[in-house]
Structure 1
Amino acid sequence: MFAVIMAGGQGTRFWPKSRRSKPKQFLDIIGNETMIRRTIDRLTPVVPKEKIYAVVNASHLQDTIGQTGLSEDSIIVEPIGRNTAPCIGLAALYIQRKDPEGVMVALPADHHIEDQQAFLKTLLIAEEAATSSGYLITLGMEPKYPTTGFGYIEKGELLGESDSKEFFKVKRFTEKPDLSTAIEFLADGNFLWNSGIFVWKVSAILEQIKTHLPFLYKGLMKIREAIGTGQEKETISEVYSNIEGISIDYGVMEKSDITAVIPSDFGWNDVGSWASLDEVLPKDQDGNLLIGKCISLDTRDTVVYGKDKLIATLGLDGIVVVDTEDAILISRKDKCQDVKKIVETLEKEGMDEYL
């Protein structure tokens, strides 16, 4: 099995710590290792390091080399971000050159997984299912509570079972719902969180891109002809400048009739905002997550993230405070998904020094 780590995101919901020069996946937000390094270490028991690829933005090549220990040949550089469909298609081309019938897992660089062994076992089961069925497999997380922060997958008919793990045809993908719909999904019992972790044969995903995203496929074929030649970098830049950004979910998975889902439970968290940190790191007796020099009085359910300065809180409930060298974020926890709007405002105002 090959692995493709998607590491081209901007991590805007983790501003002001996450910046253009060093986005979330290159930060040690959880523990002492950066998130991309943790992802690689998580995979190596079942995927040899020489079969792991990272897809990154050109400006982050040196960070990737320094943090991951991957060779430059294993780092695929995108000239500009175009979302996950081009990213996955491009990586599939490189894997196809090594093994035309190879199986690849594609996953984000910045997720947290609590139960390593359960995760690896599920990956191997997904590899077997993808090989035997030819389906595009996604890992769906058993929902723990209703949330508007994730997309959902509805299970359809049972397709098979491997090592006590069932896999189902996908009935439908849904966008992030409102709260009342999320409550209905949880009560229904047939809905899973969409983790954004995929397993498939390289030949299968390229064929589905050909069917559902023909313009992208045409560009990928140009790149395939140029790989290994002096025109490789130039061709990738040319193709990327002429394609639109589109997610693999919207572009392929929602349209394909060969998608399957494996219900999974290995302590997954997408670490999608500052508010989610208290789901993966230990809290104090008042439900606060305090990182750095902190004093909290009459404070509950609050996340405080700092480094050098003392941060003192008094009478707070459900708040996030993030202190960096040149910027401070203060937000309600339930608004943390919208931190990216601050980044958008900074862009509009031309305040690039804070980006």
Structure 2
Amino acid sequence: MTSEHSAPASGETPSATEIDDLVIVIPAGGVGSRLWPLSQPHRPKFLLDLLGTGATLIQDTVARVRPLSSRVLVVTGERHVDAVAGQLDLPREDLLTEPSPRDSMAAIALAAAVVEHRWGPRVIGSFAADHLIPDAASFRATVARAVEVAREGKVVVIGIEPTEPSTAFGYIEMGEALTGAARHVVAFTEKPDAETAAGMLARGGFAWNAGMFVVRTDALLGHLDRLQPALAAGVREIAAAWDGPARAEVLARVWPTLTRIAIDHAIAEPVAAAGGVAVVPATFEWHDVGDFDSLAELSGVAGTAVSIHRTAPVGAVGAAGALVVGGTKPVVIVGVDDAVVVESDEALLVTVRSAAQRVKDASASLETA
């Protein structure tokens, strides 16, 4: 493939912030089961306009990264590719489809291998399709700093400054200063319990792990050659056939054989242990929108009820901080603080914000009832 693929049209002037050697990768997978019944296997979180802004999460993500690069690849499942194509103004060939979920390492590695096959070694920035970052300019400035470090061969992660000892995110332990604003990554910690999280924040030097990776394609695939050689060989074989007539055959044959593993376990943790990972601390506001409690916070719930995607009235009697999403009938909440009422075409959910993390089990409870 030539460098004309998805490049700016002839005579088009790149934006002032565009980074020539950067390709954006957007993994668009996962259901978002804690946002059931809004988010479901046939309608995952990234395809939803959760806040009623007029833009879905993936549309917001693409708009945020577009000024950084004219090349944007989205990796998504075959089940969702038509919906993604309908929401985004991207060439169809830049939507990389997975026949089945193989976790984040296979998705990002496939994108890296396709990038190398089309354009040669480049820096890729991998950013999830379902995060909210209100300050897009600060985000792009942070990514630009990360690209500078990644050019030197490091795997670079972007660390979010913690605002509380959250148990919902993994943590990055930051070490000595490196080039520019970057710091050495000492270790990664999986989602901790509340006591461990509070202790880390008290000691300082920790950041939330938002799953943002910036790395040269040759560095990433080189690490895979050493740590996950079968996976590396598999994505290279698929990438070599991706833009040709053999794609379907090679994908069907090779994809199911790829190791199902997260990039954190496959690359980030072992490479960090060898001193090869850097973190660029970020101060921009970042939201995972992982459950209805976080959605309520983003919606401005305080002493009064807030409704999203509905025109019917909401009333509260002795009930503060309610969130009501969807539905066409009036809703009144009596005597239940922090209530959450969510209605979709398929189901009705009633819970409280403190139980928001348990919503992921809701659909399973229906199946066994």
TM-score, length basis structure 1: 0.92
CA distance in 1 between partners of 2:199 and 2:58 (Å): 35
- The answer to whether residue 319 in structure 2 is matched with residue 302 in structure 1 is no
**Larger deviation, residues 179-188 vs 228-237:** 228-237
Residue identity matched to 2:30: G
The correspondence for 2:93, drawn from 73, 82, 86, is 73
Measured against aligned partners, the alpha-carbon deviations of 1:122-152 in whole angstroms (never above 9, x if no partner) come to 0111111111x21011100000011100000
**Larger deviation, residues 11-20 vs 336-345:** 336-345
Whether the aligned pair in 2 keeps the contact of 1:13 and 1:274 (CA below 8 Å) is yes
3-state SS, counterpart of residue 300 of structure 2: coil
Provide structure 2 residue ranges, at least 5 long, that are not aligned to the other structure: 1-21
CA distance in 2 between partners of 1:174 and 1:76 (Å): 30
- The answer to whether residue 200 in structure 2 is matched with residue 185 in structure 1 is yes
The correspondence for 1:314, drawn from 326, 334, 339, is 334
Residue identity matched to 2:331: I
Residue identity matched to 2:161: E
- The answer to whether residue 55 in structure 2 is matched with residue 36 in structure 1 is no
Deviation beyond 6 Å, 4+ runs, structure 1? none
CA distance in 1 between partners of 2:243 and 2:347 (Å): 44
State the 1:304 CA deviation.
Answer: 1.9
State the 1:177 CA deviation.
Answer: 0.4
State the 1:309 CA deviation.
Answer: 2.1
- The answer to whether residue 247 in structure 2 is matched with residue 232 in structure 1 is yes
The correspondence for 1:337, drawn from 357, 361, 366, is 357
State the 1:101 CA deviation.
Answer: 2.3
Measured against aligned partners, the alpha-carbon deviations of 1:241-296 in whole angstroms (never above 9, x if no partner) come to 12332110111101113111111011001111111112322234x06433233212
- The corresponding residue for 1:168 is 183
Whether the aligned pair in 2 keeps the contact of 1:223 and 1:236 (CA below 8 Å) is yes
CA distance in 2 between partners of 1:64 and 1:173 (Å): 32
The correspondence for 2:178, drawn from 152, 159, 168, is 159
- The corresponding residue for 2:68 is 46
Q: How does 1:1-355 map to 2 (within 5 A)?
A: 1-30=22-51, 31-48=53-70, 51-131=71-151, 133-161=152-180, 166-256=181-271, 257=274, 258-284=276-302, 286=303, 288-291=305-308, 292=310, 293=312, 294-346=314-366, 349=368
CA distance in 2 between partners of 1:225 and 1:311 (Å): 55
3-state SS, counterpart of residue 251 of structure 1: helix
3-state SS, counterpart of residue 56 of structure 1: strand
Relative to structure 1, is the Cα distance of residues 303 and 80 closer, same or farther in structure 2, using a 3 angstrom cutoff?
A: same
CA distance in 2 between partners of 1:287 and 1:194 (Å): 32
State the 1:90 CA deviation.
Answer: 0.5
Number of positions where the alignment pairs a residue of Structure 1 with one of Structure 2: 341
CA distance in 1 between partners of 2:204 and 2:359 (Å): 31
Residue identity matched to 2:24: A
CA distance in 2 between partners of 1:29 and 1:343 (Å): 19
Measured against aligned partners, the alpha-carbon deviations of 1:77-102 in whole angstroms (never above 9, x if no partner) come to 00011110000001111111233221
Whether the aligned pair in 2 keeps the contact of 1:106 and 1:197 (CA below 8 Å) is yes
CA distance in 2 between partners of 1:207 and 1:85 (Å): 14
CA distance in 1 between partners of 2:358 and 2:155 (Å): 32
Whether the aligned pair in 2 keeps the contact of 1:283 and 1:290 (CA below 8 Å) is no
CA distance in 2 between partners of 1:260 and 1:214 (Å): 23
State the 1:314 CA deviation.
Answer: 1.2
Residue identity matched to 2:232: Y
Whether the aligned pair in 1 keeps the contact of 2:117 and 2:240 (CA below 8 Å) is no
Whether the aligned pair in 1 keeps the contact of 2:327 and 2:342 (CA below 8 Å) is no
Measured against aligned partners, the alpha-carbon deviations of 1:43-86 in whole angstroms (never above 9, x if no partner) come to 112222xx001111101111111101111111000001111000
CA distance in 2 between partners of 1:237 and 1:341 (Å): 32
State the 1:116 CA deviation.
Answer: 1.2
Identity %: 33
Residue identity matched to 2:358: D
Cα RMSD for the two superposed structures:
1.6
3-state SS, counterpart of residue 178 of structure 2: strand
Whether the aligned pair in 1 keeps the contact of 2:110 and 2:236 (CA below 8 Å) is no
3-state SS, counterpart of residue 179 of structure 2: strand
CA distance in 2 between partners of 1:69 and 1:9 (Å): 22
Whether the aligned pair in 2 keeps the contact of 1:25 and 1:35 (CA below 8 Å) is yes
Provide structure 1 residue ranges, at least 5 long, that are not aligned to the other structure: none
State the 1:109 CA deviation.
Answer: 0.3
State the 1:345 CA deviation.
Answer: 4.0
3-state SS, counterpart of residue 145 of structure 1: coil
**Larger deviation, residues 330-339 vs 65-74:** 330-339
3-state SS, counterpart of residue 341 of structure 1: helix
Relative to structure 1, is the Cα distance of residues 79 and 334 closer, same or farther in structure 2, using a 3 angstrom cutoff?
A: same
TM-score, length basis structure 2: 0.88
Whether the aligned pair in 2 keeps the contact of 1:278 and 1:288 (CA below 8 Å) is no
